[in-house]
Structure 1
Amino acid sequence: MGAFIVMPFLSSNYIPVKIRLLFAMLLSALVAPILPPVPAVDAISIGAALLAVEQLLVGFMLALFLLIMISVMTKMGAMMSMQMGLAMAIMNDPANGNSNPILGQWFLLYGTLLFLALDGHLVAIGVIVDSFYLWPIGMGIFELPLMGLVERVGWLFAAAFMLALPAIVAMLMVNLTFGVLSKSAPSLNVFALGFPMSMLMGLLCVFFSFSGLASRYSDICLDALSSMHQFIGG
């Protein structure tokens, strides 16, 4: 349940809480017979509550790798929107309770569908099951490489910037061209011409960016899943 709270797609408010709870119970019932022995504790004691909190936190931190991975697409869309002049075009998301640029929502949907098409959710669930072998119950959370999880935040911005870099450079050249044009022909209304042209060129950049985005994002998904597995000692 700790993983399902933040895991992409499964954490969406469009999926009822009862469905997520039943799925967690079904998964637990399926893997319980093959798991290592659980420490003998009283089910209604403080020790059992601490073990439950520990497992919730471990699942939460494992799913954070996937949340950061899917946020790369949102950050990429935000960077491209800033260059296109669509920074003020915000679309409210009633499911997640936040507001993101339209391109951010678009790329987020694309990244989620691509992650599901690659069976990334099955690999993630497999890593969560393996965590009971690699990091047995009762090992605690302070021995985990927590700094590696913190460093993934910097990786988020670096990966988003590398994906959006071609479009950013192309839009920078367009803005420089209109700057030179406004300097050489002051009487020309550059704002009336530059804004629609910048948006048109930005849409073309978005269109061409999809040509190689799938392969690059597949590498990002593989890196995120590998880091998720290495986090628990895999």
Structure 2
Amino acid sequence: MIGSFWWPFCRLMGAFIVMPLLGNAFVPVTVRILLAFSLAALLGPMLPPVPQVDAVSAGALLLAIEQLLIGFMLGLFLSILLHVMSMLGTIMSMQMGLAMAIMNDPANGNSNPILSQWFLMFGTLIFLALDGHLVAIGILVDSFRLWPIGTGIFDLPLMGLIHRVGWLFAASLMLAIPAVLAMLMVNITFGVLSRAAPSLNIFSLGFPMTMLMGLLCVLLSFSGIPSRYSDVCLDALTAMYQFIGGSA
């Protein structure tokens, strides 16, 4: 009976370590533990029979680590999903010349351009508005049926998870292409202008215009990104579901 609560708790806790919002350093560890324990207590009576393993044996330790890793990989899908918006902000900041405007992020232990933090917050709100967090928890619950405890970890499609890293760059570039092309046209225009009028101080004129054009692209992006980002969220959640053997 203890195992029916402990193994689900390990898998849920592994997912909550890296999941957006819950995996943030500002969320106390106690909150994550209590949430994982509450869900495990609710799921315990409904799960298939768990393996009978001695609680103080090496097999129990390996099984706990296995469940932590499965939950970690499931939560990693959502972490990659939200980093699409962070990468989008980085690409647009570099095109605008705002890459030097860096803000330290103590929650994640890194430094990102301010625009990346802005887009990351926007993407998180879109994800919550689409009830993506409820769908993700539902997939975690279904994982105990689709990939029962004790099935193993090496039979999972691990290459599919690795390919999501490439998908991260592709999705962020897809969202940033309109702004990148607009900024490229601005740079080409000022390049032609500098050749036509060499005496013109292109730096004093080009940087403010590039900045204004970049801010206009950001304004237009905030109105067009939600519909595209919803498709990205659906793709990430579908990949998360298929990773544990579900069918789309």
Distance 1:148 1:20 in 2: 27
2:5 — aligned with what?
none
- Code of the residue aligned with 2:57 in structure 1: it is S
1:159 — aligned with what?
171
**What does 1:112-127 align with in structure 2 at a 5 Å threshold?**
112-127=124-139
Q: Is structure 2 residue 94 aligned with structure 1 residue 73?
A: no
1:11 — aligned with what?
23
> Percent of aligned pairs with the same residue?
74
Distance 2:43 2:134 in 1: 14
- 1:83-135 per-residue CA deviation (whole Å, 9 max, x = no partner) reads 10011111111111110111111000001111111111111111111111100
- 1:7-65 per-residue CA deviation (whole Å, 9 max, x = no partner) reads 01110111111111111111111111111111011112111111111100000001111
Q: Is structure 2 residue 141 aligned with structure 1 residue 103?
A: no
1:202 — aligned with what?
214
- Relative to the length of structure 2, the TM-score reads 0.93
Q: Is structure 2 residue 72 aligned with structure 1 residue 90?
A: no
- Code of the residue aligned with 1:80 in structure 2: it is M
Q: Is structure 2 residue 56 aligned with structure 1 residue 44?
A: yes
2:151 — aligned with what?
139
- Relative to the length of structure 1, the TM-score reads 0.98
Q: RMSD over aligned Cα, in angstroms?
A: 0.7
- Code of the residue aligned with 2:43 in structure 1: it is V
Task: Select between 208-217 and 157-166 the one with higher mean Cα deviation.
Answer: 208-217
Aligned length: 234
Structure 2 spans left out of the alignment, 5+ residues: 1-12
- Code of the residue aligned with 1:67 in structure 2: it is S
Secondary structure, aligned partner of 1:109: helix
Distance 1:195 1:33 in 2: 63
Displacement, 1:154?
0.6
Distance 1:76 1:139 in 2: 38
Q: Is structure 2 residue 73 aligned with structure 1 residue 61?
A: yes
Structure 1 spans left out of the alignment, 5+ residues: none
